[in-house]
Structure 1
Amino acid sequence: MTKFNRILIPGGLGFVGSSLALMIKSRYPDAEVYVFDNLKRRGSELNLLRIKNQGIHFYHGDVRIREDLMQIPDCDLLIDCCAEPSVLSGTTGSPDYLLQTNLLGTIHCLEYARFYKSHFMFISTSRVYPIEPLLSLPVCESQTRFDWDLAEGHGFGKEGISQEFGMHGYRSLYGTSKYCSELLIAEYVANYSLKAIINRCGVLTGPWQFGKVDQGFMTLWASAFAYNRSLKYIGFGGSGKQVRDVLHIRDLFLLIELELERASEWKGEVVEASGGKSNSVSLLELSSLCEKISQNSIEIGRVTETRPMDLPVFYMNCERSFKDYGWRPTYSVEEILLDIFAWLEAEKKSLMHVF
């Protein structure tokens, strides 16, 4: 295994970045861990306290500004967690902040890695897949969910979407910015022999995710039941039957540990990191689980109109990851929710003003 003594996590006060920073520091206590963040996101101040309490170094800066990033001492591993993560970002105004953070930010991270000869890990998204081809896939409907009605095809089948799926078409400004970053990473691997790996993630979730309507639906839903907030089923006739697969952040870390053991072999490969079909859930099913766990019932409204970027079904086929790394998610959907509800109760005083 390649030993990493200094690890840099841009975007390190967001949900994914802070969670990985804390897990890495716990697993590798001798490593120096640096997080870099602009403190823009709601809840960042809570994560800042958590990482400082564990001896993790914090640098305040903006990934859009190259000089801010280059002030950090040379690190031998960079995990790029920078993102404006909402699929709706930039759709009702200027895309400037989104594109500069997600794309220019990754360029600056790549340049840091090239300059210091750091290994490079990129946290990408399943939103890189184009919307119209996904919408063209046949969908069936049951009492509680939509699902694909698929024969096996190129890049799709009963277990979901894989990286062989066609990539032509629009995919949202967010998805495009992340896909462009993936392509740039391939160029840095080819031109500069950068040691890099891409984790193409589905919906990541768990404690310390400050969910909102356009991003982080698992904690948003659980917090509404825990704190008596109202919710809405948006789109698809207000049915609540839209489906996503979910992955606990600790399960992503378990995969990353396995990847780090083979870091000397990294060649820019894409690794599917997702819950898969067996860890998929509809909003309707999620409401039932939340009601069961919380023993609480809340008002859920309905908005019939479907938003332009919304999909009735999406889950990824992770069979390649299972085979290549001997990895599988360990948390079921219900176990993820139990962990989230325990956090919402334990941290209620500090979280009530966040959700």
Structure 2
Amino acid sequence: MRYSSADLNRKTILITGGAGFIGSNLAFYFQENYPETHVVVLDLFRSNITLSNGNLRSFGHFKNLLGFQGEVISGDINDTALLSKLKRDYQFDYIFHEAAISDTTALEQDLMIQTNVNAFKDLLDIAVAHGANMIYASSGATYGDAPSPQRVGREAPQNVYGFSKLMMDHLAHKYTKKYDHISIVGLRYFNVYGPREFFKNKTASMVVQFGHQLLAGKNPKLFENSDKILRDFIYIEDIIQANVLSMNPKENGVFNVGTGKARSFQSMVDILQNELGTSLSCEYIPNPYIGRYQFHTEADIESTRAILGYEPRFSFEEGIAAYVPEIKRLFEQEL
């Protein structure tokens, strides 16, 4: 489905983190809807390099791009020589910046700030030089433990990841004040789930993780009182919609991207059981993260509606139903 009436054919689009979850979905959106668009994917494809918590530094995976016919570049956004080459050898019309150290449990503050904040400034300089509109991934993590509904201007990040995203938002605001020939939009994603997230491993959504537990015949393990632990879960198609609507916005700014409705982890498992035809008993375990755990997130999306024209299309039930065939395929072919 097209989310914009703009003619994007023959435009050149850079997608950083394009072999990751959201970036790869964007790449295929443009390939399928605007086949004459030149899409350049830049990604630090996965290697055996891990962070101190044991998780991979990069989740980019070639399988997320199977069928993609655009240009693929393997590289690190911290590589200034690479960014200089992009600035010199290309002429981008739009930049979708999805690359980041996105692991909220990462302890490497230096790498987080370098990758998420400093490299973002270099990419903003490319956008300015090329006259390219910038759409970048901010995060609901900027809100930390702020009460629901979470609103722009009420940030309280609780980890370095959320802090880095908030610093990106401040940097973007300074650029919009200084340069008026491009637009810059930050999108604060809430809890995203859907196809092409599988290779995020342990940081993939609990939708796919619970789905695979159920398909394996395992009782799903939930924290105690999971009917009272709520998140704003958003299906990937609505994330793509928000990104495309941000390409030529009425105003610059930072916008929440969620459904505006909080749903429980218990409801997630119940919907999955209904879709998969299982009836396994849930096992409830103590929550070891009390005191540093969000119990309720719900995006205020009024400005996103008013300025971007965004309207979430998928309820939690509809998103999971759309996702189930892919969850089954992954279980059969990857697990």
TM over 0.5: yes
Point out the more displaced range, 326-335 or 294-303.
Answer: 294-303
Q: 2:253 aligns with which of 269, 274, 295?
A: 269
1:79-118 correspondence to structure 2 within 5 Å = 79-90=96-107, 94-118=108-132
Asked whether the 8 Å contact 1:226–1:341 carries over to 2, the reply is no
Post-superposition offset of 1:328: 1.4
Q: For residue 15 of structure 2, what is the aligned residue in structure 1?
A: 9
Question: How far, CA to CA, are the matches of 2:281 and 2:71 in structure 1?
Answer: 41
Residues 308-330 of structure 1 show CA distances to partners (whole Å, capped at 9, x for unaligned) of 54111011111222233443111
Residues 126-185 of structure 1 show CA distances to partners (whole Å, capped at 9, x for unaligned) of 111143xx2xx5xxxxxxxxxxxxxxxxxx6xxx222143x3x44311100111011111
Q: 2:151 aligns with which of 140, 159, 162?
A: 162
Q: For residue 323 of structure 1, what is the aligned residue in structure 2?
A: 306
Q: For residue 277 of structure 2, what is the aligned residue in structure 1?
A: 295
Point out the more displaced range, 29-38 or 211-220.
Answer: 211-220
Aligned residues: 311
Q: CA RMSD in A?
A: 2.3
What is the TM-score when the length of structure 1 is the normalising length? 0.80
Are residue 33 (structure 1) and residue 20 (structure 2) matched? no
Q: For residue 223 of structure 1, what is the aligned residue in structure 2?
A: 212
Q: CA 1:43 to 1:102, structure 2 compared with 1: closer, same or farther past 3 Å?
A: closer
Are residue 22 (structure 1) and residue 6 (structure 2) matched? no
Question: How far, CA to CA, are the matches of 1:228 and 1:63 in structure 2?
Answer: 42
Post-superposition offset of 1:44: 0.8
Q: CA 1:298 to 1:8, structure 2 compared with 1: closer, same or farther past 3 Å?
A: farther
Q: List runs of 5+ in structure 1 lacking aligned partners.
A: 138-155
Post-superposition offset of 1:14: 0.8
Counterpart amino acid of residue 35 in structure 1: V
Question: How far, CA to CA, are the matches of 2:165 and 2:295 in structure 1?
Answer: 22
Asked whether the 8 Å contact 2:113–2:164 carries over to 1, the reply is yes
SS in 1 for 2:137: strand
Question: How far, CA to CA, are the matches of 2:151 and 2:92 in structure 1?
Answer: 32
Q: CA 1:196 to 1:326, structure 2 compared with 1: closer, same or farther past 3 Å?
A: closer
Post-superposition offset of 1:272: 1.9
SS in 1 for 2:171: helix
SS in 2 for 1:88: coil
Q: List runs of 5+ in structure 2 lacking aligned partners.
A: 1-5, 47-57
Q: CA 1:243 to 1:31, structure 2 compared with 1: closer, same or farther past 3 Å?
A: same
Residues 30-75 of structure 1 show CA distances to partners (whole Å, capped at 9, x for unaligned) of 1100110011244612113x2xx23121000001112223333221
Are residue 175 (structure 1) and residue 155 (structure 2) matched? no
Post-superposition offset of 1:306: 1.7
Counterpart amino acid of residue 290 in structure 1: L
Q: 1:253 aligns with which of 225, 240, 244?
A: 240
Question: How far, CA to CA, are the matches of 1:300 and 1:351 in structure 2?
Answer: 26
SS in 1 for 2:289: coil
Question: How far, CA to CA, are the matches of 1:323 and 1:112 in structure 2?
Answer: 29
Are residue 186 (structure 1) and residue 173 (structure 2) matched? yes
SS in 2 for 1:334: helix
Post-superposition offset of 1:231: 4.9
Question: How far, CA to CA, are the matches of 2:288 and 2:94 in structure 1?
Answer: 44
Q: For residue 149 of structure 1, what is the aligned residue in structure 2?
A: none
1:193-232 correspondence to structure 2 within 5 Å = 193=180, 194-210=182-198, 212-228=201-217, 231-232=220-221
Residues 64-99 of structure 1 show CA distances to partners (whole Å, capped at 9, x for unaligned) of 112223333221110000122232222xxx323322
SS in 1 for 2:325: helix
Post-superposition offset of 1:343: 0.6
Question: How far, CA to CA, are the matches of 2:273 and 2:323 in structure 1?
Answer: 14
Asked whether the 8 Å contact 2:44–2:60 carries over to 1, the reply is no
Asked whether the 8 Å contact 2:260–2:299 carries over to 1, the reply is yes
Residues 88-121 of structure 1 show CA distances to partners (whole Å, capped at 9, x for unaligned) of 222xxx3233222222231222122123221111
Question: How far, CA to CA, are the matches of 2:62 and 2:291 in structure 1?
Answer: 33
SS in 2 for 1:35: strand
SS in 2 for 1:71: helix
Q: For residue 128 of structure 1, what is the aligned residue in structure 2?
A: 142
Point out the more displaced range, 283-292 or 307-316.
Answer: 307-316
Are residue 45 (structure 1) and residue 62 (structure 2) matched? yes
Question: How far, CA to CA, are the matches of 1:258 and 1:116 in structure 2?
Answer: 20
